[in-house]
């Protein structure tokens, strides 16, 4: 329904497009579109965008709200475990856990709902049922709760670090130890708040790792998280001078990533172990390594073998 408003006193004498931009909180070019389309006009006189606003002018607004584009649904995302309480999916790379500002791709939550999977209403709006997340650039296992009972119990298990989360990762360089623990607090980077860093002001974070295979220029490891901080594995290995292969945000060598064909950080949530929220049976779900990450491993093995033959 159109709204008719008096011209703001503070904007008298200004161009019409400037007035609309200020009133609507949009750019002047967006305001010009509203004027040209007739969604914003001056009552009783020519509504040119360059018209100067005078005292007693009335402005009519009839804004057409554009319906948001529907979220794309991924119908191929594997569901590796499901019952009346929980569903465990094998999240592909390039998918977000849930919708967020600026994200236009598929999400785990949206795809499950779009495929008719019932999810509990418990949790923040748009994040219901989610008790643990994976980065967009990380593939692997993610658990979503279908019942109220599961949400409350699994949230407790994750917060008290009772869930065993095993990741596989490839880090740059040759780790000096076969097994070790990284214990260093993690917080937001002061310069770039979308990044995280090891800082005394951060939250406690503990990462355990075991070497699976060595390639001299990189190391294949199994990682267990005792805590679940954002970007924890990526930040901890970067702090040791061994960023994840392909992880340019945290200092990875782009040439090695290009040579191995990796277009994201080499990180996969491989295994999830938890006590079932209803039956209390210890439950284990395991995922296979995706093809792009397997290809990178094959390239690294080939490069290591070639160097060994040349020596």
Catalytically annotated residues: 135
> How many other β-carbons are positioned within 10 Å of the β-carbon of residue 187?
17
Taking the C-alpha atoms of residue 61 and residue 20, their distance in angstroms, rounded to an integer, is: 9
Taking the C-alpha atoms of residue 184 and residue 182, their distance in angstroms, rounded to an integer, is: 6
Taking the C-alpha atoms of residue 220 and residue 68, their distance in angstroms, rounded to an integer, is: 43
Taking the C-alpha atoms of residue 133 and residue 157, their distance in angstroms, rounded to an integer, is: 14
**What totals of helices (H) and strands (E) does the chain contain, helices first?**
7, 14
Pair 228, 131: CB distance under 8 Å? no
Q: Who contacts 148 (Cβ-Cβ below 8 Å, separation ≥6)?
A: 120, 122
Taking the C-alpha atoms of residue 32 and residue 197, their distance in angstroms, rounded to an integer, is: 44
Pair 183, 240: CB distance under 8 Å? no
Taking the C-alpha atoms of residue 112 and residue 77, their distance in angstroms, rounded to an integer, is: 9
> How many other β-carbons are positioned within 10 Å of the β-carbon of residue 286?
14
Nearest to 93 by CA among 202, 307, 246, 206: 246
| Side-chain-side CA neighbours of residue 175 (13 Å) | 26
Helix (H, G, I), strand (E, B) or coil at 291: helix
């Amino acid at each position: 329904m159109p709204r008719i408003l008096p011209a703001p006193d503070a904007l008298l004498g200004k161009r019409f497009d400037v007035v609309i931009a200020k009133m609507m909180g949009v750019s002047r070019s967006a305001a010009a579109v509203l004027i040209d389309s007739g969604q914003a006009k001056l009552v009783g006189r020519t509504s040119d965008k360059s018209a100067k606003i005078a005292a007693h002018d009335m402005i009519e607004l009839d804004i057409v709200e554009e319906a948001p584009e529907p979220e794309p649904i991924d119908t191929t995302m594997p569901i590796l475990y499901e019952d009346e309480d929980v569903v465990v999916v094998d999240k592909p790379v390039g998918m977000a856990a849930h919708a967020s500002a600026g994200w236009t791709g598929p999400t785990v939550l949206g795809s499950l709902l779009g495929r008719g999977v019932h999810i509990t209403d418990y949790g923040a709006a748009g994040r219901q049922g989610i008790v643990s997340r994976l980065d967009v650039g990380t593939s692997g296992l993610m658990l979503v709760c279908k019942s109220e009972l599961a949400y409350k119990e699994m949230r407790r298990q994750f917060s008290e670090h009772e869930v065993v989360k095993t990741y596989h990762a490839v880090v740059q360089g040759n780790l000096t130890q076969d097994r070790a623990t990284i214990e260093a607090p993690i917080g937001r980077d002061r310069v770039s708040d979308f990044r995280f860093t090891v800082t005394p002001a951060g939250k406690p974070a503990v990462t355990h790792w075991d070497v699976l295979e060595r390639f001299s220029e990189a190391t294949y490891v199994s990682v267990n998280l005792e805590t679940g901080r954002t970007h924890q594995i990526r930040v901890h290995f970067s702090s040791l001078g061994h960023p994840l292969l392909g992880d340019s945000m945290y200092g990875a060598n782009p040439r090695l990533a290009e040579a191995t064909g990796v277009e994201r950080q080499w990180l996969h949530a491989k295994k999830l172990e938890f006590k079932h929220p209803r039956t209390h049976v210890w439950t284990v779900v395991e995922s296979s390594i995706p093809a792009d990450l397997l290809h990178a491993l094959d390239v690294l093995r080939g490069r290591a073998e070639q160097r060994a033959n040349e020596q």
